[in-house]
Amino acid sequence: MRHPGPGVSPSVVETIGSTPLVALERLCEGTDRMVLAKLEYYSPGHSVKDRIARRMVERAEQRGLLSPGGAIVETTSGNTGIGLAIVAAVRGYRFLAVMSEGNSVERQRILRSLGAEVVLVPQAGGGRPGQVSGEDLVLVERRAEELAQQLGAFRPDQFENPDNAAAHAETTGVEIWEQTGGRLDAWVASVGTAGTFAGVARALKARRPSIRCVAAEPATVRPLAGIPVTNSSHQIQGTGYNRIPPLFDAADCDDAVGVTDQDAIETARDLAAQEGIVGGFSGGANVWAALQVARDLAPGSVVVTVIPDTGLKYLSTNLYQ
């Protein structure tokens, strides 16, 4: 069917990306530094993971790993699954999202609304709603592999798939460079699969190697900093799985900052109350870490971070109580 005008997208998949970059002027007031936040909840699945979902599926189609009517199985804390569910709905694939019971109920409901089949995996050592550990992730991975083999399904495998980081190197990082006119001094982001952090770092350092790239990780789970784990459970969902992800490249990481649950929560609340930006736990963690990095830079410096998803996915948690 012919579309009514040049501004009409053929599907919602084509609207992924091109998200705004916003100055956090109120949180930075009086510091002589500026933190800019890339609002990834503007994508249709309301998270940064929409970008990798589109890229991984499109590359799988090109390589003959996915054919019409095929199935996709993926482990997810929710956001990658939501992105994949959107792409699968448009492309006509069956999608099974395998996730820990510890992830927020909002994500489960969004996945089901998009036609995904949600497979919940009990947590190691018993239920801890809102807290997902590295041990939980092992169980989720095991179940996803079983299902993929049973169904002969395509597994995007976001932790291992280089298309994850490539999506950010070719889109997110380029957008940040163009939106700032190349005038930035540091990039800060939490590390889960490491795709966002690594892809953007690669794009920025290719353009100016002196840009400082700092990873954020939960204060009790800091493998990137080489610090022993003190508590594998934390509330910063989608990060801190007590492993150095295969996509993480130490050559592109200048430092790593630890963020407590409380710092992440309080900063997310400040971000909403003072900037009108309702982000999730990792958004609060990213902004808190970015503010710390900014304080160590020269006056006039600019730090860029990302709000990975919307806080509306966490209303059942204590984030905005």
* Distance of alpha carbon 257 from alpha carbon 233, whole angstroms: 18
Alpha carbon separation from 114 to 96, 97, 108 (Å, rounded): 11, 11, 10
Taking a C-beta distance cutoff of 8 angstroms, is the pair 236, 289 a contact?
A: no
Active site residue 313: no
Q: What one-letter code names the amino acid at 13?
A: V
- State the greatest distance between any 2 C-alpha atoms of the chain, in Å, as a whole number: 59
DSSP per residue, 275-320? H---B-HHHHHHHHHHHHHHHTSPTT-EEEEEE-BBGGGGTTSSTT
Order of strands across the sheet with 21-23? Answer: 21-23, 34-39, 302-307, 186-190, 212-218, 255-259
Least Cα distance to 22 among 274, 282, 212 occurs for 274
At 235 the three-state DSSP class reads coil
Active site residue 282: yes
Catalytic residue among 47, 77, 282, 301: 282
Least Cα distance to 45 among 6, 72, 78, 1 occurs for 78
The HSE-up count of residue 199 (CA atoms within 13 Å, CB side) is: 27
Catalytic residue among 38, 49, 205, 313: 49
Taking a C-beta distance cutoff of 8 angstroms, is the pair 247, 195 a contact?
A: yes
Cα angle, residue 298 at apex, residues 292 and 299 outer, rounded to 5°: 95
Residue positions annotated with a catalytic role: 49, 282
